[in-house]
Amino acid sequence: MLGDIKPTVCVVGLGYIGLPTAAIIAGAGCPVLGFDVSQSVVDTINRGEIHIEEVDLDGLVHGVVQRGLLRASTRIEPSDVFVVAVPTPFAKDEDHKPGLSLVLAAATEIAAVLKRGNLIILESTSPVGTTEQVRDLIAGLRPDLKLPGSTAESADVSIAYCPERVLPGRILVELTHNDRSIGGITPRCARKALAFYKRFVRGECLTTDARSAEMTKLVENAYRDVNIAFANELSMIADEMGLDVWEVIRLANRHPRVNILQPGPGVGGHCIAVDPWFIVHGAPEQARLIRTAREVNDAKMRHVLARAIALVESAPTQQVGCLGLAFKANIDDLRESPARFVAASLARRFGKRVKVVEPFATTLPSEFAETGAALVDLDTALETCGVLILLVDHEVFRAVPLDERRHAQLYDTRGIWNDLGQAASALRLRLAS
C-alpha cells in the first residue's frame, strides 16, 4: 500500500490541526479527502479558501485544492489511511472527565468503510488508553476484520496514535520539522504509521507503544502548564509585595540554569489549559502538582479580573479599552482565552464604558451581546479610553509608542509596555495597596 504508489488519505476533522495536516499531506502528493461535519467549512475549503487564521495556510490550501489533491466532504469515504484530528473537550465540572464522543463517533464512521490493509491514526490529544478503546469499538463493529493486539495472528488493519505537537502561528513549519512520537497498538502498527509520516515529516519519527505516545503528549503540555503556573504564581506574589515581577524574572533568568516563563492573564487555548486535566483524571491521587498548576493558572485569571475591576472603579469617568481577546499573541483563536474571560466580565459589569480591540476578530463573541460593550479599532481605543487593560501581546499592541498611551491608566498583564517604568510601578503599587 505504502510503496511507490501514494496512499489515499482521509483526514477526519478540518480544524486548527486537521486542515493544515490535510494540506501538508496533499502537498506531499497524496490525494486527500478532508471530512468535517460543517457544510460551510467543507464549502469554504472546496473553494480553495480557509476558515481559520494560520500563517501561509491559505496559499497552501488554495494550491492543493486547485491541483485536485485536496477536497472536502461531510461524508467519510474509503481510503488507505485515516487520520483523526477531532477535538477532545473535557467536562467543566469537578470531575474534568475527558470527552471522547467525537473520537468515538469518528471511529464508528471509519469502521463502516474500513478495508483490509488500512491504517488508522489518532492525532487528537487523548487520555491514556483511548487508542485501544478505538480498536475495541471497531472490533465490535467489524467482526469480519482481525484487529491489532486483540489476536495472536497478524492483523488486517493497523492502528496507531501520533499526537500533533505544533504551535499555533507556526503550524506548517512545525508539522514538517518537529520530531514525532508514533505509538502503535503493536510494533507493526507503529512501523506502518512511521512509513506514512516519513512522506511529509522532516523531523525525526520515534516509534513506541500507543499508551506511551498518548501520555507523552499530555506530559508535554502539563510540563508547560506547570512552568507557566510558576511564573503566574510569582506575579501574584509580586503584586502582593509591590514588586515588578518582570524585573525579578529578567534578573533571575540571567542565572545560567534558570529560565522562568512569562506571567500573563492565565493560560488559554485548547491544549495547555485542557490536557493536564486528562492526567489528573487518570491518576487523581498522584497528580498533585499538575492539578495545582491548573488551579494556579485559573486563579491568575480571576486575580487579573479583580485588579482590572479595581482600576476601572478608580476611574469612574473614563472609558475602558480592553486590548485583545485571543488566547495568545498574533492568532485569531479565542478558545479558553483568559483575555476573553476578563474582557467579557468587565463588559457585563461596566457595560458601554468597555471598548474591546481585537485585530483578529470582526465581531464580538456572543457573551458580549447586550452588555453594551463595543468592538473598536486600536486607534479609537487609544484616542478615547482613559483606562487601558492590555490582555494579549499582539505585535500591533507591542508597537504602540509610549506617547500614544502615556495619557491612560494602564494595566499591562503581559509586561510588554515596561518602558513606562516609574509610572507603571506606581500604578502597580497603588493597585497592590
**Applying CB under 6 A, does 248 fall inside the site for ligand SAJ?**
no
State the maximum Cα–Cα separation within the chain, in Å, rounded to a whole number: 76
Among 189, 271, 322, 385, the active-site one is 271
CB of 24 to ligand SAJ, least distance (A): 15
In the residue annotation, 217 being an active-site residue is answered as yes
The number of beta carbons lying within 10 Å of the beta carbon of residue 327 is: 27
Closer residue to ligand SAJ in complex, CB, 31/266:
266
Among 217, 300, 328, 355, the active-site one is 217
Selected range binding ligand SAJ among 82-90, 113-121, 207-215, 261-269, rule: CB under 6 A:
261-269
Say how far apart CA 38 and CA 36 lie, in whole Å: 5
Closer residue to ligand SAJ in complex, CB, 167/402:
167
User: What cell was used for 38?
Assistant: 460543517
In angstroms, what CA-CA distances link 229 with 145, 235, 254, 260?
47, 10, 20, 10
In the residue annotation, 6 being an active-site residue is answered as no
Percentages helix, strand, coil for the chain (3-state, rounded to 5) are 45, 15, 40
**Applying CB under 6 A, does 328 fall inside the site for ligand SAJ?**
yes
Q: Which residues pair with 213 in a beta bridge?
A: none
Which phi and psi (to 5°) does residue 375 adopt? -85, 125
DSSP 191: H
Number of residues in contact with ligand SAJ, rule: CB under 6 A? 20
> What one-character-per-residue DSSP string does 211-231 give?
HHHHHHHHHHHHHHHHHHHHH
CB of 331 to ligand SAJ, least distance (A): 8
Closer residue to ligand SAJ in complex, CB, 138/325:
325
Q: Which secondary-structure segment (H or E) carries 428?
A: helix 422-432
Selected range binding ligand SAJ among 81-89, 267-275, 277-285, 377-385, rule: CB under 6 A:
267-275
Q: Look at strands 385-390 and 374-375 and give their pairing.
A: unpaired
DSSP 7: P
Instruction: List the one residue from 12, 33, 166, 391 that touches ligand SAJ (CB under 6 A).
Output: 166
Instruction: List the one residue from 135, 165, 353, 405 that touches ligand SAJ (CB under 6 A).
Output: 165
Q: Look at strands 158-161 and 180-184 and give their pairing.
A: antiparallel
Instruction: List the one residue from 196, 327, 411, 417 that touches ligand SAJ (CB under 6 A).
Output: 327
Q: x/- binding map, residues 207-246, to ligand SAJ, per CB under 6 A? A: -------------xx--x---x------------------
Q: Which residues are catalytic?
A: 217, 271
Query: What residues line the site for ligand SAJ (CB under 6 A)?
Result: 125, 164-168, 220-221, 224, 228, 261-262, 264, 267-269, 271-272, 327-328
